[in-house]
Protein backbone atom coordinates (compact mmCIF):
# COMPACT_ATOMS: atom_id res chain seq x y z
CA UNK A 1 0.00 0.00 0.00
CA UNK A 2 1.59 3.24 -1.16
CA UNK A 3 1.79 6.11 1.28
CA UNK A 4 0.42 9.18 -0.49
CA UNK A 5 1.92 11.30 2.28
CA UNK A 6 5.40 10.25 1.17
CA UNK A 7 4.62 11.44 -2.36
CA UNK A 8 2.94 14.69 -1.37
CA UNK A 9 5.23 15.63 1.49
CA UNK A 10 2.42 15.18 4.04
CA UNK A 11 2.31 12.94 7.12
CA UNK A 12 2.23 9.15 7.21
CA UNK A 13 -1.36 9.34 8.47
CA UNK A 14 -2.42 9.84 4.86
CA UNK A 15 -2.65 6.85 2.54
CA UNK A 16 -4.03 6.18 -0.91
CA UNK A 17 -5.21 2.63 -1.31
CA UNK A 18 -7.13 2.25 -4.56
CA UNK A 19 -7.36 3.96 -7.94
CA UNK A 20 -11.06 4.56 -8.61
CA UNK A 21 -10.88 6.49 -11.85
CA UNK A 22 -8.25 7.85 -14.21
CA UNK A 23 -9.51 10.60 -16.47
CA UNK A 24 -7.87 12.92 -18.95
CA UNK A 25 -7.48 15.69 -16.38
CA UNK A 26 -7.35 13.95 -13.00
CA UNK A 27 -7.08 10.66 -11.16
CA UNK A 28 -9.30 9.73 -8.22
CA UNK A 29 -7.94 7.57 -5.42
CA UNK A 30 -9.73 6.09 -2.41
CA UNK A 31 -7.83 6.20 0.87
CA UNK A 32 -7.64 7.53 4.41
CA UNK A 33 -6.77 10.91 5.92
CA UNK A 34 -6.19 10.80 9.67
CA UNK A 35 -8.63 7.92 10.00
CA UNK A 36 -11.30 9.38 7.71
CA UNK A 37 -12.37 7.78 4.42
CA UNK A 38 -11.43 10.17 1.64
CA UNK A 39 -11.05 10.71 -2.07
CA UNK A 40 -7.80 12.16 -3.40
CA UNK A 41 -8.35 14.09 -6.61
CA UNK A 42 -4.96 14.54 -8.24
CA UNK A 43 -4.64 16.65 -11.38
CA UNK A 44 -2.37 15.00 -13.90
CA UNK A 45 0.79 16.66 -15.24
CA UNK A 46 0.51 17.45 -18.96
CA UNK A 47 3.91 16.93 -20.56
CA UNK A 48 2.87 18.73 -23.77
CA UNK A 49 2.54 22.01 -21.84
CA UNK A 50 5.42 24.21 -20.72
CA UNK A 51 6.21 23.09 -17.17
CA UNK A 52 5.60 26.46 -15.51
CA UNK A 53 2.35 26.95 -17.43
CA UNK A 54 1.18 23.44 -16.62
CA UNK A 55 1.86 23.95 -12.91
CA UNK A 56 -0.04 27.24 -12.94
CA UNK A 57 -3.04 25.77 -14.76
CA UNK A 58 -3.26 22.78 -12.44
CA UNK A 59 -2.93 24.96 -9.35
CA UNK A 60 -5.59 27.43 -10.49
CA UNK A 61 -8.03 24.65 -11.40
CA UNK A 62 -7.40 22.82 -8.14
CA UNK A 63 -8.05 25.95 -6.08
CA UNK A 64 -11.10 26.87 -8.15
CA UNK A 65 -12.68 23.47 -7.65
CA UNK A 66 -11.92 23.31 -3.93
CA UNK A 67 -13.29 26.80 -3.32
CA UNK A 68 -16.44 25.96 -5.28
CA UNK A 69 -17.02 22.80 -3.24
CA UNK A 70 -16.68 24.83 -0.05
CA UNK A 71 -18.72 27.82 -1.23
CA UNK A 72 -21.80 25.97 -2.48
CA UNK A 73 -22.22 24.30 0.90
CA UNK A 74 -23.36 27.71 2.12
CA UNK A 75 -26.47 27.19 -0.02
CA UNK A 76 -27.16 23.84 1.69
CA UNK A 77 -26.15 21.88 -1.37
CA UNK A 78 -24.57 18.52 -0.62
CA UNK A 79 -21.00 18.31 -1.88
CA UNK A 80 -18.00 16.38 -0.52
CA UNK A 81 -16.35 18.17 2.41
CA UNK A 82 -12.87 19.42 1.56
CA UNK A 83 -10.30 18.39 4.15
CA UNK A 84 -7.08 19.61 2.58
CA UNK A 85 -5.73 21.26 -0.57
CA UNK A 86 -2.18 20.50 -1.69
CA UNK A 87 -1.22 22.98 -4.41
CA UNK A 88 2.25 21.48 -4.83
CA UNK A 89 0.78 18.24 -6.16
CA UNK A 90 -2.52 19.76 -7.37
CA UNK A 91 -4.48 17.45 -5.08
CA UNK A 92 -7.77 17.93 -3.23
CA UNK A 93 -8.46 15.62 -0.29
CA UNK A 94 -12.20 15.37 0.28
CA UNK A 95 -14.69 13.24 2.15
CA UNK A 96 -15.61 9.92 0.58
CA UNK A 97 -19.35 9.86 -0.14
CA UNK A 98 -20.78 6.38 0.26
CA UNK A 99 -23.53 5.84 -2.27
CA UNK A 100 -24.28 5.03 -5.90
CA UNK A 101 -24.00 7.09 -9.05
CA UNK A 102 -27.39 8.11 -10.37
CA UNK A 103 -26.25 6.73 -13.73
CA UNK A 104 -26.31 3.22 -12.29
CA UNK A 105 -29.57 3.64 -10.38
CA UNK A 106 -32.03 5.07 -12.90
CA UNK A 107 -33.13 1.70 -14.27
CA UNK A 108 -33.86 0.42 -10.75
CA UNK A 109 -36.08 3.35 -9.71
CA UNK A 110 -39.83 3.53 -10.06
CA UNK A 111 -41.50 6.44 -11.86
CA UNK A 112 -42.37 8.29 -8.65
CA UNK A 113 -38.80 8.09 -7.34
CA UNK A 114 -37.33 9.24 -10.66
CA UNK A 115 -39.60 12.28 -10.65
CA UNK A 116 -38.70 13.08 -7.05
CA UNK A 117 -34.95 12.83 -7.59
CA UNK A 118 -34.86 14.86 -10.79
CA UNK A 119 -37.22 17.51 -9.41
CA UNK A 120 -34.87 17.91 -6.44
CA UNK A 121 -31.88 17.96 -8.79
CA UNK A 122 -33.54 20.76 -10.76
CA UNK A 123 -33.90 22.77 -7.57
CA UNK A 124 -30.25 22.16 -6.69
CA UNK A 125 -28.98 23.37 -10.08
CA UNK A 126 -31.32 26.38 -9.91
CA UNK A 127 -29.80 27.34 -6.56
CA UNK A 128 -26.34 27.12 -8.11
CA UNK A 129 -27.36 29.27 -11.08
CA UNK A 130 -29.21 31.86 -9.01
CA UNK A 131 -26.03 32.33 -6.98
CA UNK A 132 -23.81 32.66 -10.05
CA UNK A 133 -22.29 29.18 -10.18
CA UNK A 134 -21.96 27.03 -13.30
CA UNK A 135 -21.24 23.38 -12.55
CA UNK A 136 -19.93 22.69 -16.04
CA UNK A 137 -20.44 18.92 -16.07
CA UNK A 138 -23.94 17.99 -14.93
CA UNK A 139 -24.12 14.29 -15.76
CA UNK A 140 -25.73 11.33 -14.02
CA UNK A 141 -22.19 10.14 -13.24
CA UNK A 142 -21.58 13.27 -11.16
CA UNK A 143 -24.63 12.79 -8.95
CA UNK A 144 -24.39 10.45 -5.96
CA UNK A 145 -27.46 9.11 -4.17
CA UNK A 146 -26.78 7.91 -0.62
CA UNK A 147 -28.61 5.16 1.26
CA UNK A 148 -30.65 7.87 2.99
CA UNK A 149 -31.54 9.27 -0.49
CA UNK A 150 -29.53 12.45 -0.10
CA UNK A 151 -28.35 13.89 -3.41
CA UNK A 152 -24.66 14.82 -3.62
CA UNK A 153 -23.27 16.84 -6.49
CA UNK A 154 -19.65 15.97 -7.24
CA UNK A 155 -16.82 16.88 -9.65
CA UNK A 156 -16.62 20.67 -9.88
CA UNK A 157 -13.55 20.43 -12.09
CA UNK A 158 -15.20 22.53 -14.83
CA UNK A 159 -16.90 24.92 -12.41
CA UNK A 160 -17.13 28.57 -13.37
CA UNK A 161 -18.71 31.77 -12.08
CA UNK A 162 -21.24 33.37 -14.39
CA UNK A 163 -24.62 35.09 -14.48
CA UNK A 164 -24.88 34.59 -18.23
CA UNK A 165 -28.09 33.06 -19.58
CA UNK A 166 -25.95 31.31 -22.22
CA UNK A 167 -23.73 29.59 -19.65
CA UNK A 168 -26.69 28.44 -17.58
CA UNK A 169 -28.44 27.10 -20.68
CA UNK A 170 -25.30 25.22 -21.71
CA UNK A 171 -25.10 23.70 -18.21
CA UNK A 172 -28.64 22.32 -18.54
CA UNK A 173 -28.17 21.35 -22.17
CA UNK A 174 -25.34 19.02 -21.21
CA UNK A 175 -27.64 17.16 -18.81
CA UNK A 176 -30.27 16.92 -21.54
CA UNK A 177 -27.75 15.40 -23.96
CA UNK A 178 -26.61 12.89 -21.34
CA UNK A 179 -30.18 11.83 -20.60
CA UNK A 180 -30.93 11.37 -24.30
CA UNK A 181 -27.75 9.43 -25.06
CA UNK A 182 -27.47 7.31 -21.90
CA UNK A 183 -31.01 7.10 -20.53
CA UNK A 184 -33.18 7.50 -23.61
CA UNK A 185 -36.16 5.56 -22.26
CA UNK A 186 -36.31 7.82 -19.22
CA UNK A 187 -35.34 11.07 -20.93
CA UNK A 188 -38.72 12.82 -21.09
CA UNK A 189 -39.80 11.85 -17.59
CA UNK A 190 -36.50 12.81 -15.95
CA UNK A 191 -35.81 15.99 -17.92
CA UNK A 192 -39.34 17.33 -17.49
CA UNK A 193 -39.11 16.67 -13.75
CA UNK A 194 -35.74 18.44 -13.69
CA UNK A 195 -37.16 21.50 -15.48
CA UNK A 196 -40.14 21.62 -13.15
CA UNK A 197 -37.86 21.64 -10.11
CA UNK A 198 -35.60 24.22 -11.75
CA UNK A 199 -38.50 26.55 -12.56
CA UNK A 200 -40.11 26.07 -9.12
CA UNK A 201 -36.94 27.17 -7.32
CA UNK A 202 -36.69 30.30 -9.47
CA UNK A 203 -40.38 31.12 -8.99
CA UNK A 204 -40.19 30.77 -5.22
CA UNK A 205 -37.36 33.31 -5.21
CA UNK A 206 -39.36 35.72 -7.37
CA UNK A 207 -36.95 35.32 -10.25
CA UNK A 208 -38.29 34.81 -13.80
CA UNK A 209 -34.91 34.36 -15.49
CA UNK A 210 -35.64 30.67 -15.95
CA UNK A 211 -37.86 31.52 -18.94
CA UNK A 212 -34.95 32.92 -20.95
CA UNK A 213 -32.56 30.20 -19.75
CA UNK A 214 -34.83 27.36 -20.83
CA UNK A 215 -35.77 29.03 -24.13
CA UNK A 216 -32.08 29.44 -24.90
CA UNK A 217 -31.56 25.67 -24.72
CA UNK A 218 -33.57 25.34 -27.93
CA UNK A 219 -31.47 28.06 -29.54
CA UNK A 220 -28.30 26.16 -28.64
CA UNK A 221 -29.71 23.05 -30.28
CA UNK A 222 -30.38 24.86 -33.55
CA UNK A 223 -26.74 25.83 -34.02
CA UNK A 224 -24.71 24.03 -36.63
CA UNK A 225 -22.33 22.49 -34.14
CA UNK A 226 -22.35 22.45 -30.38
CA UNK A 227 -18.90 22.86 -28.87
CA UNK A 228 -18.29 21.74 -25.31
CA UNK A 229 -17.17 24.58 -23.07
CA UNK A 230 -13.77 23.11 -22.29
CA UNK A 231 -13.00 22.84 -26.03
CA UNK A 232 -13.96 26.39 -27.04
CA UNK A 233 -10.47 27.92 -26.85
Active-site residue set: 137
How far is residue 13 from each of residues 4, 28, 33, 34, 193, measured CA to CA in Å? Answer: 9, 18, 6, 5, 44
Q: Are 41 and 28 contacting, i.e. CB atoms less than 8 angstroms apart?
A: yes
Q: Are 37 and 95 contacting, i.e. CB atoms less than 8 angstroms apart?
A: yes
Neighbours of 105 (CB within 10 A): 17
Q: Distance between CA atoms of 229 and 210, rounded to whole angstroms? A: 21
Q: Distance between CA atoms of 201 and 214, rounded to whole angstroms? A: 14
C-alpha 223: how far from chain center: 26
Amino acid sequence: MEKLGDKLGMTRNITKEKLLHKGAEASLFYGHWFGKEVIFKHRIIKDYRIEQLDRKIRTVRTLNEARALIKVKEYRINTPQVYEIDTESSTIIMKYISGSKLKNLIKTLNISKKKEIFTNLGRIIAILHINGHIHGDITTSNIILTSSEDIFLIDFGLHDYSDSIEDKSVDIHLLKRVLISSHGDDFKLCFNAFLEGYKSEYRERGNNAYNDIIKNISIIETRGRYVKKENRL
